[in-house]
Amino acid sequence: MVKELSQEFYQNKREALYDLLPDQSATIIGAGCEVSKSLDENYPFYVNNNYLYLTGLTEPEGILVLAKMHGQNSTTLFIRKPDPFKEKWFGRHISIDAAHQKSGIDDIRYLDEFESFCSDLKGLDYYEDDTVPDHQKREFGLEHKHSLLPLLSKMRLVKSEEELALMRHAIHLTHLGINQILANLKPGDFEYQAQDIFEYTILSHGAEETAFGTIAVSGEDAPILHYMTNRKRMVDHTMILFDLGARYRGYCSDISRTFPVNGHYTRDQRALYEAVLQAQRDIIPYYQVGTNMRDVQEKSRELLNQYGLATDLFDPEKTIDDYYYHGIGHSLGLDTHDLCEDRRVTLKPGMVITCEPGLYMADRGMGVRIEDDILITEAGPVVLSAEIPKSVDIIESMM
């Protein structure tokens, strides 16, 4: 089992953020609040990832305050006070001691002290990540002056070895789920049955949840990039495109694969699939330190056009924009589309960026996307998801 992030990890991240903040400033980051679904049920809660990144805590309503005054750093955490009545229905709130053990924060108070505490912050430069409700900012005299996101983006883009270990495990869980899809996929089943097989597998092996809503889109709907219905019956001699991932201890994987529903690609399907696969193999070596993702995007268009034309499936009156209409990749981490101020980022060691070329032909009822997760290193790109099958021969043999 992969170790969870250490208390030292969260302490180091807070210190790194302090180094980026100017003197006489404060930042307030909220965990987020639960949203009521009915009188006695809330929607599933997922914590604000910036709060998680700096504390390791996942409970709702927590507030982290970092203040930097006269060269001195002050960290204060506010959490919910125990409520015996509510805890009978919904479970215990985290204790001050448990919050300290996880986060390494010494000054932990209950939320009812937050208002009076904020009076000491008036007049400081205020940084936020848009998680503090407007009424609180008004009530406590806090005015939005600076966005915290550029600073957190700079930090979160580069992963530590501890983070990479969790991401590798999330990818491994995704691999296990995809293998089960390949073992069970067949015409006549519904798309959601393949989705259920994947999600049952990753959850039974320790995933917290899916990294995002699973996409399982077959046949002529494959060119729909964010198809989420997953309700169609899969038809013989068509393909199904999966975009899926596992979340493990907060960290995500993001993988796309396109499989033949009956276990064998038709001639045209194979031609289109191998065009995308060859383009991906040629694009990945461009994921080098110092390369700008804008240049990788242009290279992906060039290669997909080159290999697509070679299939003789393209309409000569159309352009690559008719067959490929999304970005080649994005940062991956605590969010599937991880915090990144500029998608045209210049690559640095420790970044994890997806590589996901695709070709979509609505008139032929086909769509192919192949996506892997790439670690940027000084020695060149490392495909973290290399174990997940993607060659035609291996896919057909596994099915």
Q: From 124, 143, 148, 147, select the one nearest 24 (Cα to Cα).
A: 124
- Cα 372 to Cα 394: distance, rounded to the nearest angstrom: 17
205 counts as catalytic: no
Q: Which DSSP string do the residues of 14-79 spell out, in sequence order?
A: HHHHHHHSPSSEEEEEE-----EEETTEEPPP---HHHHHHH----TT-EEEEEEETTEEEEEEEE
* Active-site position among 40, 97, 134, 378: 40
Q: Band the pLDDT of 86: cuts 50, 70, 90.
A: confident
* Active-site position among 128, 356, 372, 373: 356
* Active-site position among 337, 343, 364, 396: 337
Give 266 or 1, the one with higher predicted confidence. 266
Burial class of 397 by CB neighbour count within 10 A (0 to 12, 13 to 18, 19+): exposed
Q: Which single residue is written with the structure tokens 């057909």? A: 396
38 pLDDT exceeds 80? yes
Q: State both tokens at 361.
A: 């032909």
Query: What is the separation, in whole angstroms, between the first and last Cα of the chain?
Result: 29
282 counts as catalytic: no
330 counts as catalytic: yes
What does the pLDDT read at residue 1?
65
* Active-site position among 330, 335, 338, 372: 330
pLDDT tens for each residue of 152-201: 999 999 999 999 999 999 999 999 999 999 999 999 999 999 999 999 99
Can you list the domains of the chain with their CATH numbers?
7-156 (3.40.350.10), 161-398 (3.90.230.10)
Contacts of 334 (CB under 8 A, 6+ apart): 49, 52, 53, 156, 250, 251, 252
337 counts as catalytic: yes
Q: Which amino acid is at 52?
A: L
On whether the CB atoms of residues 378 and 289 are closer than 8 A, the answer is yes
Contacts of 115 (CB under 8 A, 6+ apart): 139, 140
| Range 271-296 average pLDDT | 98
51 counts as catalytic: no
On whether the CB atoms of residues 243 and 210 are closer than 8 A, the answer is no
* Sequence-separated contacts (24+) of 181-186 with Cβ below 8 Å: 181/242, 181/259, 182/259, 182/389, 182/395, 182/398, 182/399, 183/398, 183/399, 185/234, 185/240, 185/259, 185/261, 185/263, 185/399, 186/234, 186/261, 186/262, 186/263
244 pLDDT exceeds 90? yes
- Cα 357 to Cα 19: distance, rounded to the nearest angstrom: 38
Q: From 18, 15, 26, select the one nearest 127 (Cα to Cα).
A: 26
**Maximum mean pLDDT: which of 22-31, 34-43, 135-144:** 22-31
- Cα 298 to Cα 140: distance, rounded to the nearest angstrom: 48
228 pLDDT exceeds 90? no
Helix (H) or strand (E) holding 373: strand 372-375
Q: How far is C-alpha 264 from the chain's CA centre?
A: 31
pLDDT over 70 for what percent of the chain? 97
169 counts as catalytic: no
